Amino acid sequence: MFLESYSAGPVATNIILLACEKTKKAAIIDAPMEGGELVLKRVEELGFEVVMLIMTHSHWDHIIDAHLLKEKTGAPLYIHERDKENLLKPGSDGLPLPLPIEGVEADHLMKEGDVLKVGELELEVIETPGHTPGGVCLYLPKEGTLISGDTLFQGSIGRLDLPTAEPDKMWTSLGKLAKLPLDTRVIPGHGSETTIGSESWLADAKTYFGG
């Protein structure tokens, strides 16, 4: 497995390039401002073929370059059904936009238990609503890796004071993640990577973050 994460855009959002080294098939996960061109350059350098674009959720900082990536790669774009509308009409979630963002129509709608295949890699979709209604995490069990979007960060969680946040659902979502193997590597939507075991508060997140 090849995995690189790059921080881009006004709020330092991570864009992830994931690839099967055997087949050279790749997925780009999330699309922050200025991240698209950066990752496309790496794709060209490495000789990868982008076969999938995946949005962990639809907040503006994760989707600004989605239109660019779809236009440049022609790859199908995946998002959860409950976040598809805000991808198509950015800002319809009530979160103010810092600049105009071109909407994109999703090609596929993810749901709990779906398995997305990138070459020989298998990404299991875990529904993790809370930060947004359609937030998801992507779990690669064989590689012991979780791409957590804005559900889980190093020492923290995604904001719950935004227009479409659902705090009660977040606690359930974090409880799911707490059941993963402790040595699972976590690549978040912002900040540095961590492991499930390092976030020992996960199973009792409401106590720490519920106010």
21-60 pLDDT per residue, tens: 999 999 999 999 999 999 999 999 999 999 999 999 999 9
CATH of domain 2-209: 3.60.15.10
Domain boundaries, given as residue ranges, for the chain: 2-209
Question: What are the tens digits of pLDDT across the range 87-134?
Answer: 999 999 999 999 999 999 999 999 999 999 999 999 999 999 999 999
| Residue 44 CB neighbour total at 10 angstroms | 9
Rounded to two decimals, the pTM is: 0.97
Whether the pLDDT of residue 170 is over 90: the answer is: yes
Of the pLDDT bands very low, low, confident and very high (cuts 50, 70, 90), residue 211 is low
pLDDT score recorded for residue 210: 85
List all residues 6 or more positions away from 73 whose beta carbon is below 8 Å from its beta carbon: 28, 40, 50, 53
What would the mean pLDDT of 12-29 be, rounded to a whole number? Answer: 98
pLDDT score recorded for residue 22: 98
DSSP 181: -
How does the average pLDDT of the chain come out, rounded?
A: 97
Quote the CA–CA distance of 113 and 32 in Å, as a whole number.
26
